[in-house]
């Protein structure tokens, strides 16, 4: 089990750092009444924003309606999901706290109107609204600042982090040198999730404990920069092919769709091509580049996504088929995209989902095939790919 889960604080008091901020947040909630400002928690990744929000609700006995703002792509979903919660004046005995997590993830498009919607919701809400964001400088944060009391979480001093890490080691009955502990506490720059992960990962090198493939992939999928991603991949205890495979099935089973998904799959396909070359040539030294390709290419796409580790869900044969023919697939996209006067990535996100459903009809497939000259076998591939 991952220590970040096992040692997730159980109460607000157990958390590391920012004690004053935690206390003033509690008093914001206690004093809140209709018309009061919302609260906005701002702080770097892994410092405990989400954790603090949940523990606060628990401590003050609020029922929490949690919404990850980056999930809500349209104003309508946002309004549907929080509208209800802002209106209902506790029908049930328990009061409600509305938590909008990762508000800097709500799409930045000007015409979207989500920020305005949230502002209006804050003004009208019968229930307190708490928000969290990473980036103080983001447009969303700046705009929402007007209706919020802002609570800034800052990196706790390394010695506090060291104490926390020591407490974990004690619970585990393990020991590592003070020097290494301080090092972790300093390099994590306030990212406690990272510190705990590094502590656990570092120990896995020794014989006390070995990291599982699941843990390594989970670390990879949640890493925030390339070096973290490289570390995670290098800890993978299995075969390189399985490593690529597990990343693939996690992405495919995630909610990531559209262009982003296409870009992720292309990264994986590049890694797979390299693996193929290694297998064919026996040049094992090329393996060193595998993690680099995966980490370098994927990290841009992984940031801000929450992707859970998922074991194989589609038959491996199908995956292999998709991979082996990914080059041909790209050509087919290119061709169809050209005919539809759109880009390949637009094609994958905007057209493919529909086309792949329509391809279910043999008649349609034949028509497409005769217009485009793309073989039916390739159209089948397109159909499978579009529906995963």
Report the candidate in 44, 303, 68, 23 with the shortest Cα–Cα distance to residue 195: 44
Nearest CB to ligand ATP, comparing residues 14 and 89: 14
The distance of closest approach from Cβ of residue 101 to Mg ion in the complex, given in angstroms and rounded to an integer, is 6
Cα dist from 113 to 110, 293, 353, 379, whole Å: 7, 38, 27, 39
d(CA 51, CA 382): 42
> Pick from ligand ATP, Mg ion, none: which does 51 bind, CB < 5 to 8 A by kind?
ligand ATP
Interatomic CA distance for residues 233 and 226, integer angstroms: 10
Shortest separation between residue 141's beta carbon and Mg ion, angstroms: 14
CB 70, min distance to ligand ATP, A: 10
Give the whole-angstrom CA distance, residue 38 versus residue 42: 13
Closest CB to ligand ATP among residues 49, 261: 49
Q: Could you tell which of Mg ion, ligand ATP, none binds residue 17, using a CB distance below 5 to 8 A set by kind?
A: ligand ATP
Residue 192 or 244: the one with the smaller Cβ distance to ligand ATP is 192
Q: Does 70 bind Mg ion (CB under 5 A)?
A: no
Euclidean distance between CA atoms 47 and 63, whole angstroms: 23
Asked if residue 50 binds Mg ion (CB under 5 A), the reply is: yes
Q: Is 254 near Mg ion (CB under 5 A)?
A: no
Q: In what order do the strands lie in the sheet with 62-68?
A: 62-68, 95-101, 129-133, 38-42, 148-152
Residue 190 contact partner, candidates Mg ion, ligand ATP, none, CB within 5 to 8 A by sort of partner: none
Residue 51 or 344 having the CB closest to ligand ATP:
51
Question: What's the CA gap between 46 and 351, in Å, rounded?
Answer: 37
Tell me which residue has its CB nearest to ligand ATP.
48
Give the shortest CB-53-to-Mg ion separation in angstroms: 8
- The nearer residue to ligand ATP, 8 or 325, going by C-beta atoms, is 8
Q: Given the complex with Mg ion, which of 50 and 356 has the nearer CB atom?
A: 50
Residue 42 phi, psi (nearest 5) = -120, 135
Question: Taking CB within 5 to 8 Å according to partner kind, which of Mg ion, ligand ATP, none is near residue 128?
Answer: none
Q: How far is the CB of 11 from Mg ion (least distance, A)?
A: 18
In 3D space, the residue among 261, 250, 42, 285 whose CA is nearest the CA of residue 150 turns out to be: 42
User: DSSP for 263-274?
Assistant: HHHHHHHHHHHH
Strand pairing report for 38-42 and 148-152:
parallel
Residues that bind ligand ATP (CB under 6 A): 4, 7-9, 15-17, 43, 45-51, 134, 192-193, 196
Which residues sit at the interface with Mg ion, rule CB under 5 A? 49-50
């Amino acid at each position: 089990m991952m220590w970040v889960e096992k040692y997730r604080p159980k109460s607000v008091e157990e958390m590391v750092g920012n004690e004053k901020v935690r206390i003033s947040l509690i008093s914001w909630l206690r004093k809140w009444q209709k018309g009061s400002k919302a609260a906005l928690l701002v702080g770097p990744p892994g410092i405990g924003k989400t954790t603090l929000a949940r523990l606060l609700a628990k401590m003050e006995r609020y029922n929490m309606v949690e919404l990850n703002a980056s999930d809500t792509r349209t104003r309508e979903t946002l309004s549907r999901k929080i509208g209800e919660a802002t209106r209902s004046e506790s029908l049930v005995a328990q009061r409600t706290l509305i938590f909008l997590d990762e508000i800097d993830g709500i799409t930045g498009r000007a015409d979207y109107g989500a920020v305005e919607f949230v502002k209006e919701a804050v003004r009208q809400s019968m229930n307190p609204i708490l928000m969290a964001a990473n980036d103080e400088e983001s447009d969303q944060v700046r705009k929402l600042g007007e209706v919020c009391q802002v609570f800034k979480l800052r990196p706790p001093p390394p010695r506090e982090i060291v104490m926390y890490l020591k407490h974990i080691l004690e619970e585990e009955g393990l020991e590592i040198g003070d020097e290494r502990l301080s090092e972790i506490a300093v390099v994590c720059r306030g990212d406690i999730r990272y510190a705990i992960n590094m502590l656990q990962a570092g120990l896995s090198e020794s014989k006390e404990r070995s990291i599982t493939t699941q843990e390594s992939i989970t670390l990879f999928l949640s890493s925030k920069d390339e070096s973290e991603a490289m570390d995670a991949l290098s800890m993978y205890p299995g075969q390189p092919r399985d490593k690529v495979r597990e990343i693939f099935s996690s992405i495919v089973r995630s909610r990531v769709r559209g262009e982003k998904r296409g870009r992720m799959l292309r990264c994986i396909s590049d890694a797979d091509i390299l693996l193929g070359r290694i297998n064919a040539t026996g040049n094992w030294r090329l393996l060193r580049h595998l993690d680099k390709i995966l980490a370098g290419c994927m990290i841009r796409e992984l940031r801000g996504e929450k992707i859970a580790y998922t074991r194989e869900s589609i038959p491996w044969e199908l995956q292999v088929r998709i991979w082996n023919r990914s080059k041909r697939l790209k050509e087919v996209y290119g061709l169809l995209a050209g005919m539809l006067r759109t880009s390949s990535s637009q094609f994958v996100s905007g057209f493919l989902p529909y086309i792949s459903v329509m391809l279910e009809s043999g008649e349609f497939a034949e028509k497409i095939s005769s217009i485009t000259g793309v073989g039916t076998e390739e159209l089948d591939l397109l159909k499978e790919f579009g529906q995963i």
